[in-house]
Protein backbone atom coordinates (compact mmCIF):
# COMPACT_ATOMS: atom_id res chain seq x y z
CA UNK A 1 0.00 0.00 0.00
CA UNK A 2 1.31 3.44 -0.96
CA UNK A 3 0.77 5.77 1.98
CA UNK A 4 1.32 9.50 2.22
CA UNK A 5 1.47 11.11 5.65
CA UNK A 6 1.25 14.88 6.04
CA UNK A 7 3.34 16.16 8.93
CA UNK A 8 4.07 19.54 10.47
CA UNK A 9 6.86 21.07 12.50
CA UNK A 10 5.45 22.81 15.55
CA UNK A 11 6.71 24.36 18.79
CA UNK A 12 6.38 21.54 21.31
CA UNK A 13 4.11 22.68 24.14
CA UNK A 14 5.84 20.25 26.51
CA UNK A 15 9.20 21.91 26.08
CA UNK A 16 8.30 25.56 25.62
CA UNK A 17 6.75 28.34 27.58
CA UNK A 18 4.51 29.95 25.03
CA UNK A 19 4.42 33.72 25.39
CA UNK A 20 3.07 36.43 23.11
CA UNK A 21 5.56 38.88 21.66
CA UNK A 22 5.54 42.54 22.57
CA UNK A 23 3.59 43.74 19.51
CA UNK A 24 1.03 41.02 19.88
CA UNK A 25 1.47 39.77 16.31
CA UNK A 26 2.83 36.35 17.09
CA UNK A 27 4.15 34.14 19.88
CA UNK A 28 7.69 34.76 21.09
CA UNK A 29 9.75 32.52 18.84
CA UNK A 30 13.29 33.31 20.00
CA UNK A 31 13.81 30.50 22.43
CA UNK A 32 11.44 27.89 21.07
CA UNK A 33 12.26 24.30 20.36
CA UNK A 34 10.33 22.50 17.68
CA UNK A 35 9.33 18.96 17.07
CA UNK A 36 7.00 16.97 14.90
CA UNK A 37 3.34 17.57 15.69
CA UNK A 38 2.29 14.82 18.11
CA UNK A 39 -0.77 13.69 16.10
CA UNK A 40 1.28 13.44 12.93
CA UNK A 41 3.76 11.24 14.72
CA UNK A 42 0.97 8.76 15.53
CA UNK A 43 -0.11 8.90 11.87
CA UNK A 44 3.40 8.04 10.68
CA UNK A 45 3.67 5.18 13.17
CA UNK A 46 0.34 3.83 11.92
CA UNK A 47 1.49 4.09 8.32
CA UNK A 48 4.70 2.21 9.11
CA UNK A 49 2.76 -0.51 10.89
CA UNK A 50 0.44 -0.89 7.89
CA UNK A 51 3.44 -1.06 5.57
CA UNK A 52 5.04 -3.71 7.79
CA UNK A 53 1.86 -5.78 7.53
CA UNK A 54 0.93 -5.48 3.87
CA UNK A 55 3.99 -4.01 2.17
CA UNK A 56 4.23 -0.84 0.11
CA UNK A 57 5.88 2.39 1.08
CA UNK A 58 5.42 5.40 3.34
CA UNK A 59 6.09 8.93 2.16
CA UNK A 60 6.06 11.89 4.52
CA UNK A 61 5.36 15.38 3.26
CA UNK A 62 5.54 18.73 4.99
CA UNK A 63 4.86 22.33 4.11
CA UNK A 64 7.39 24.51 5.86
CA UNK A 65 10.58 26.53 5.81
CA UNK A 66 14.19 25.32 5.60
CA UNK A 67 14.12 23.88 9.09
CA UNK A 68 11.00 21.80 8.50
CA UNK A 69 13.40 19.33 6.91
CA UNK A 70 14.26 18.08 10.43
CA UNK A 71 10.80 16.63 11.08
CA UNK A 72 10.89 14.79 7.75
CA UNK A 73 14.22 13.27 8.73
CA UNK A 74 12.88 12.32 12.12
CA UNK A 75 9.93 10.50 10.56
CA UNK A 76 12.24 8.85 8.06
CA UNK A 77 14.42 7.69 10.93
CA UNK A 78 11.24 6.18 12.31
CA UNK A 79 10.76 4.15 9.15
CA UNK A 80 9.19 6.33 6.45
CA UNK A 81 10.78 5.62 3.08
CA UNK A 82 10.65 8.99 1.36
CA UNK A 83 10.26 12.64 2.22
CA UNK A 84 8.86 15.53 0.25
CA UNK A 85 9.55 19.05 1.42
CA UNK A 86 7.30 21.81 0.09
CA UNK A 87 9.31 24.92 0.78
CA UNK A 88 8.05 28.16 -0.72
CA UNK A 89 8.12 31.54 0.96
CA UNK A 90 4.64 32.33 -0.32
CA UNK A 91 3.26 29.45 1.71
CA UNK A 92 4.53 30.92 4.96
CA UNK A 93 1.66 33.41 4.88
CA UNK A 94 -1.00 31.03 3.67
CA UNK A 95 -3.97 29.58 5.56
CA UNK A 96 -5.29 26.04 5.98
CA UNK A 97 -6.84 25.99 2.54
CA UNK A 98 -3.57 27.06 0.94
CA UNK A 99 -1.74 24.23 2.70
CA UNK A 100 -4.44 21.77 1.61
CA UNK A 101 -4.07 22.90 -1.99
CA UNK A 102 -0.32 22.41 -1.91
CA UNK A 103 -0.78 18.95 -0.44
CA UNK A 104 -3.42 18.12 -3.03
CA UNK A 105 -0.87 18.87 -5.75
CA UNK A 106 1.59 16.48 -4.07
CA UNK A 107 -1.03 13.74 -3.82
CA UNK A 108 -1.83 14.09 -7.51
CA UNK A 109 1.81 13.70 -8.45
CA UNK A 110 1.93 10.35 -6.72
CA UNK A 111 -0.19 7.26 -6.68
CA UNK A 112 -1.30 6.95 -3.09
CA UNK A 113 -3.85 4.53 -1.73
CA UNK A 114 -4.04 6.11 1.68
CA UNK A 115 -3.41 9.64 2.90
CA UNK A 116 -3.02 10.28 6.61
CA UNK A 117 -2.89 13.51 8.55
CA UNK A 118 -2.84 14.22 12.25
CA UNK A 119 -6.27 15.08 13.64
CA UNK A 120 -4.90 18.53 14.40
CA UNK A 121 -1.68 20.35 15.11
CA UNK A 122 -0.53 21.88 18.36
CA UNK A 123 -0.47 25.28 16.65
CA UNK A 124 -3.16 24.55 14.09
CA UNK A 125 -6.89 24.64 13.58
CA UNK A 126 -7.63 21.07 12.51
CA UNK A 127 -8.59 22.09 8.98
CA UNK A 128 -6.19 20.55 6.54
CA UNK A 129 -7.25 16.91 6.60
CA UNK A 130 -10.87 17.59 5.78
CA UNK A 131 -10.10 20.24 3.17
CA UNK A 132 -7.55 17.99 1.47
CA UNK A 133 -10.09 15.18 1.19
CA UNK A 134 -12.70 17.55 -0.22
CA UNK A 135 -10.28 19.03 -2.75
CA UNK A 136 -9.34 15.53 -3.85
CA UNK A 137 -12.95 14.40 -3.73
CA UNK A 138 -11.92 11.37 -1.66
CA UNK A 139 -13.72 9.64 1.20
CA UNK A 140 -12.67 11.13 4.54
CA UNK A 141 -12.86 10.05 8.15
CA UNK A 142 -11.57 12.08 11.04
CA UNK A 143 -10.29 11.35 14.55
CA UNK A 144 -9.47 7.79 13.57
CA UNK A 145 -8.10 5.69 16.42
CA UNK A 146 -8.28 2.24 14.82
CA UNK A 147 -7.46 0.91 11.35
CA UNK A 148 -7.94 -2.62 10.08
CA UNK A 149 -7.18 -3.64 6.54
CA UNK A 150 -10.03 -5.69 5.09
CA UNK A 151 -8.78 -6.07 1.53
CA UNK A 152 -6.97 -4.18 -1.21
CA UNK A 153 -9.53 -1.45 -1.33
CA UNK A 154 -11.40 -1.50 1.96
CA UNK A 155 -10.53 -0.41 5.48
CA UNK A 156 -12.37 -0.82 8.72
CA UNK A 157 -11.81 2.24 10.85
CA UNK A 158 -12.77 3.30 14.35
CA UNK A 159 -13.36 6.56 16.13
CA UNK A 160 -14.02 7.30 19.74
CA UNK A 161 -17.33 8.95 20.39
CA UNK A 162 -18.81 10.59 23.46
CA UNK A 163 -18.52 8.63 26.65
CA UNK A 164 -15.62 6.50 25.49
CA UNK A 165 -17.76 4.49 23.07
CA UNK A 166 -16.28 3.25 19.85
CA UNK A 167 -17.81 3.73 16.40
CA UNK A 168 -16.66 1.45 13.59
CA UNK A 169 -17.03 2.35 9.92
CA UNK A 170 -15.99 1.02 6.56
CA UNK A 171 -14.20 3.19 4.04
CA UNK A 172 -13.02 2.59 0.47
CA UNK A 173 -9.51 3.31 -0.68
CA UNK A 174 -8.12 5.66 -1.73
CA UNK A 175 -9.14 7.85 1.17
CA UNK A 176 -7.96 10.47 3.61
CA UNK A 177 -7.94 9.79 7.35
CA UNK A 178 -7.09 12.15 10.18
CA UNK A 179 -5.45 10.25 13.00
CA UNK A 180 -6.12 10.65 16.70
CA UNK A 181 -3.41 10.16 19.32
CA UNK A 182 -3.52 6.85 21.12
CA UNK A 183 -4.12 4.81 17.95
CA UNK A 184 -0.74 3.16 18.61
CA UNK A 185 2.44 3.65 20.57
CA UNK A 186 4.85 5.55 18.35
CA UNK A 187 8.35 4.18 18.41
CA UNK A 188 11.25 6.14 19.83
CA UNK A 189 13.64 7.87 17.49
CA UNK A 190 17.08 8.26 18.94
CA UNK A 191 19.89 10.54 17.90
CA UNK A 192 21.54 7.62 16.16
CA UNK A 193 18.48 6.99 14.01
CA UNK A 194 18.31 10.61 12.93
CA UNK A 195 22.03 10.64 12.10
CA UNK A 196 21.59 7.65 9.85
CA UNK A 197 19.19 9.55 7.59
CA UNK A 198 21.08 12.84 7.83
CA UNK A 199 22.54 12.40 4.37
CA UNK A 200 19.40 11.23 2.58
CA UNK A 201 18.33 13.59 -0.17
CA UNK A 202 14.86 15.04 0.33
CA UNK A 203 13.38 16.64 -2.78
CA UNK A 204 12.24 20.23 -2.25
CA UNK A 205 9.31 21.61 -4.17
CA UNK A 206 8.17 25.12 -4.77
CA UNK A 207 4.78 26.34 -5.90
CA UNK A 208 5.83 26.23 -9.54
CA UNK A 209 6.81 22.55 -9.18
CA UNK A 210 3.32 21.90 -7.91
CA UNK A 211 1.68 23.85 -10.72
CA UNK A 212 0.23 26.37 -8.30
CA UNK A 213 0.21 30.14 -8.58
CA UNK A 214 0.72 32.58 -5.73
CA UNK A 215 -2.89 33.72 -6.05
CA UNK A 216 -4.21 30.23 -5.57
CA UNK A 217 -2.59 29.94 -2.18
CA UNK A 218 -3.13 33.51 -1.03
CA UNK A 219 -4.61 33.41 2.46
CA UNK A 220 -8.32 33.98 2.57
CA UNK A 221 -8.33 34.05 6.36
CA UNK A 222 -6.10 36.67 7.90
CA UNK A 223 -4.88 36.72 11.47
CA UNK A 224 -5.63 40.01 13.12
CA UNK A 225 -4.39 39.75 16.66
CA UNK A 226 -2.81 37.66 19.36
CA UNK A 227 -3.52 38.32 23.01
CA UNK A 228 -4.00 36.74 26.36
CA UNK A 229 -7.66 37.18 27.31
CA UNK A 230 -8.17 39.45 30.23
CA UNK A 231 -9.18 37.72 33.34
CA UNK A 232 -12.94 37.76 33.34
CA UNK A 233 -15.09 38.05 36.38
CA UNK A 234 -15.58 34.78 38.11
CA UNK A 235 -12.20 33.53 37.04
CA UNK A 236 -10.25 32.84 40.13
CA UNK A 237 -6.77 31.52 40.53
CA UNK A 238 -6.38 29.47 43.67
CA UNK A 239 -3.16 30.09 45.47
CA UNK A 240 -1.18 28.24 48.07
CA UNK A 241 0.59 24.92 48.14
CA UNK A 242 -0.89 21.91 46.47
CA UNK A 243 -2.88 20.76 49.46
CA UNK A 244 -4.34 24.16 50.19
CA UNK A 245 -5.30 24.55 46.56
CA UNK A 246 -6.93 21.12 46.53
CA UNK A 247 -8.81 21.90 49.71
CA UNK A 248 -10.09 25.24 48.41
CA UNK A 249 -11.11 23.60 45.14
CA UNK A 250 -13.11 20.93 46.95
CA UNK A 251 -14.83 23.61 49.02
CA UNK A 252 -15.66 25.63 45.91
CA UNK A 253 -16.99 22.62 44.06
CA UNK A 254 -19.15 21.74 47.02
CA UNK A 255 -20.41 25.28 47.35
CA UNK A 256 -21.36 25.48 43.67
CA UNK A 257 -22.98 22.08 43.66
CA UNK A 258 -20.31 20.43 41.52
CA UNK A 259 -19.86 17.66 44.05
CA UNK A 260 -22.00 16.56 46.91
Partner 1 sequence: MEMALTPVAKVTILGIPLSLFAVLIPLIGISAFCYIMARRLIPLAKAQPDPRFDRPKQRLKYVLKFWLGQYKQPRYLVAGVIHIVIFAGFLILSIRSTSLVIEGFKPHFVFPGLGGFLGDVYNFLKDYAATFVLIACIVAGIRRGIFTPERYKVPPKYGKDHTFEAIFVLGLIGTLMIFESLYSASIVAAQKQQGLHAEFLPPLTLSWIFAKMLGGTSKGFLQFINTTSYFIHDSVFFFFLCFLPFGKHFHVITSIFNVFFAKLDRGTVKPVKYGVTEEELDNLPYFGVKYLEDFTWKNILDFYTCVDCGRCADVCPANAAGRPLIPRFLTIKAREYIFDRFPVLGEIKPKEPLIGTIYEEDEIWSCTTCGSCEEECPVLNEYINKIVDLRRGMVDEGMVPQTLQKPLNALAKRGNPYGKMEKKRAEWTKSLEDIDVKIIGKKAQAETLYFVDSATSYDERANEIARAVVKILNACGEDFGILGKAEKDSGHEVRRFGEEMLFLTLRDQNIDAILNSGCKRIVTADPHAYNALKKDYDGIPPVEHISEYILRKINEGKLRFKPIEDPNLVFTYHDPCYLGRHNLIYDAPRKVLDAIPGLKRVEMERHKDRSFCCGGGGLMLFYEPPEEEQRMGQIRVKMANEAGANAIVVCCPFCLTHLEDGVKTTGFEGKIQVMDLTELIVKQLIIE
Q: Which residues bind partner 1 (CB under 8 A)?
A: 12, 14-17, 31, 33, 35, 78, 185-193, 195-196
- Please provide the size of the chain in residues: 260
Closer to partner 1 by CB, 77 or 100: give it: 77
Cβ 40 to partner 1, closest distance in Å?
Answer: 14
Based on CB atoms, which residue is closest to partner 1, 17 or 66? 17
Q: 199: burial class by Cβ within 10 Å (0-12, 13-18, 19+)? A: exposed
> Which residues make Cβ contacts (< 8 Å) with residue 158, sequence separation at least 6?
144, 145, 146, 147, 166, 167, 168, 169
Task: Pick the closer one to partner 1 by CB: 7 or 132.
Answer: 7
35-174-119-30 Cα dihedral, nearest 10 degrees? 30
In the bound complex, what is the minimum distance in angstroms from residue 77's beta carbon to partner 1?
9
- Minimum CB distance to partner 1 smaller for 18 or for 125: 18
Q: How far is the CB of 12 from partner 1 (least distance, A)?
A: 7
* Beta-sheet strand order (sheet of 2-7): 165-172, 154-161, 140-151, 175-179, 114-118, 2-7, 57-63, 82-86, 204-205
**Shortest gap between Cβ of 83 and partner 1 (angstroms)?**
18
End-to-end CA distance of the chain: 54
| Strands 57-63 and 82-86, sheet pairing | parallel
41 φ, ψ (degrees, to nearest 5): -65, -40
Strand partners, 177: 116, 141
* Shortest Cβ 49–partner 1 spacing (Å): 12
Closest separation between CB of residue 31 and partner 1, Å?
6
Closest distance of CB 189 from partner 1, Å = 7
Q: For residues 53 and 196, which CB has a smaller minimum distance to partner 1 in the complex?
A: 196
Q: What gap in Å lies between CA 128 and CA 106, rounded to an integer?
A: 14
Q: Which is nearer to partner 1, 16 or 59 (CB)?
A: 16
- Which helix (DSSP H) or strand (DSSP E) does residue 175 occupy? strand 175-179
Tally Cβ neighbours within 10 Å of residue 196.
Answer: 13
Closer CB to partner 1, residue 78 or residue 133? 78
Amino acid sequence: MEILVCVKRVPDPAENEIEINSDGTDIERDDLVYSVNEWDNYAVEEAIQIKDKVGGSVTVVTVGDEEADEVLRREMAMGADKGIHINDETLEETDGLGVAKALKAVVEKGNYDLILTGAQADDGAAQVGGMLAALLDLPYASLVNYIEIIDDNTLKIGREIEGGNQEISEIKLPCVLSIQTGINEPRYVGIRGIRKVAGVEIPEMELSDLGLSEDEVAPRVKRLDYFIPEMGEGAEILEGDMEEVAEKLVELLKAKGGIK
